[in-house]
Amino acid sequence: MASYDEQLIIAELADPKKRSKAFEKVVRQYSRKLYWQIRHIVVNHDDTDDVLQNTFVKAWKNLDSFKGESKLSTWLYRIAYNESLNFIKQNREFNPLENFTEEDEQKQTLHIESDEYLDGDRTQRLLLEAINLLPTKQKAVFTMKYFDERKYEEIAEITGTSIGALKASYHFAVEKITKFIKAHDN
Amino acid sequence: MNDDNLLMELGIKRESPFTVPDKYFDNLDERIMSNVLSCESNNKYSAIHKKKVIGKISKWTSIAAACALVVVLSAKHFTQKAPTMDTAVFTEEEMSTVDILNYSMLESADVYNYLNGAEY
């Protein structure tokens, strides 16, 4: 794989003649990482693929708005994060965990069980069910910290939230998930 | 207790439980680029199409405006009152003829009878 020099790529992206080739390098560098970030939030593979495509299309269309104030990777993760949240808001069938009903829970179980691209034991499936019932932003924070193993500083840049608020959000998410799994793991 | 330890105590593995279809990542980058470029060409097409539509609209608007102007001017022209005798401008000589006609009180019937030798 060709080496990736972010400063050089940013300079090439600013040049209309080199833009397309430079963007190809960006896609090669970040497509998988963005796929997994989106997948952990959106869950379903086909939906993830759609959101990923939209993320890159948006990035391409808004290249001129990238001023280099943050890292290119952070900018891309932020677009992916916003696209994922928008997708969930438009398609969510469930209420957040605080007031979910038994019917929501059954729908959620069916949703997880019907996903053919899901591996893992019963506890992991329960974990996913619990994650999917979290409020959208809390779900995103939890998955970025837990699965993607990002630092709070990085998540703060992506989500535009303070580190203190992120720590509190993660803590509440863990509490809810633990409670859910204990209640369902017979 | 640490939040992550709480989850580990429940026996939850940190690894992602998700999988992807076979060879999904093999052509992902090509699909993304072709999607990005096709969106761009669609945008270019729609921008050109928009320009053409606007061009056509402005062409027809100019024609319609010109027609409307012609109609308005013609209507104005034809609805103007024909000059009456009172407002007509006559030369002095013409005016004296008009005066004679007015004051002679001759009707066209009188002239007809006179010419046919009829008696009054």
Q: What ipTM score was computed for the predicted complex, to two decimals? A: 0.81
Torsion of CA B83, B89, B91, B92, to 10 degrees: 110
Q: What is the pLDDT of residues B46-63, one digit of tens each?
A: 655 666 666 666 777 778
The pLDDT, as a whole number, for residue A83 is 96
Q: Which of A35-44, A69-78, B78-87 has the lowest mean pLDDT?
A: B78-87
Q: What is the pLDDT of residues B77-91, one digit of tens each?
A: 776 655 555 444 556
The pLDDT, as a whole number, for residue B54 is 64
Which pLDDT band, with edges at 50, 70 and 90, does A84 fall under?
Answer: very high
Q: Which of A96-105, B61-70, B91-100 has the lowest mean pLDDT?
A: A96-105
Single-letter amino acid, residue B16: S
Chain A residues with CB-CB distance to B7 below 8 A: 127, 146, 174, 177-178
Chain B residues with CB-CB distance to A52 below 8 A: 32
Q: Is B19 exposed, middle or buried (0-12, 13-18, 19+ CB in 10 A)?
A: middle
Nearest-angstrom CA–CA distance, B63 and B70: 11
Higher local confidence (pLDDT), A161 or A92: A161
Q: Chain B: which residues have CB within 8 Å of chain A?
A: 3-4, 6-7, 10-14, 16-21, 24-25, 28-29, 31-33, 35-37, 39-40, 43
The pLDDT, as a whole number, for residue A74 is 94
Q: What is the mean pLDDT of chain B?
A: 72
Q: What is the pTM of this model?
A: 0.69
Chain A residue with minimum CA distance to B28: A31
Give the mean pLDDT of B3-31.
Answer: 87
Q: Chain A: which residues have CB within 8 Å of chain B?
A: 20, 23-24, 27-28, 31-32, 35-36, 39-40, 43, 45, 52-53, 56-57, 60-61, 117-120, 123-125, 127-128, 146-147, 149, 170-171, 174-175, 177-178, 181-182, 185
In this structure, the number of other CB atoms found within 10 A of the CB of residue B80 comes to: 8
Chain A residues with CB-CB distance to B14 below 8 A: 146-147, 149
Q: What is the mean pLDDT of chain A?
A: 87
Give the mean pLDDT of B39-49.
Answer: 65
DSSP-H helix ranges across A43-146: 45-61, 72-91, 102-113, 122-132, 136-146
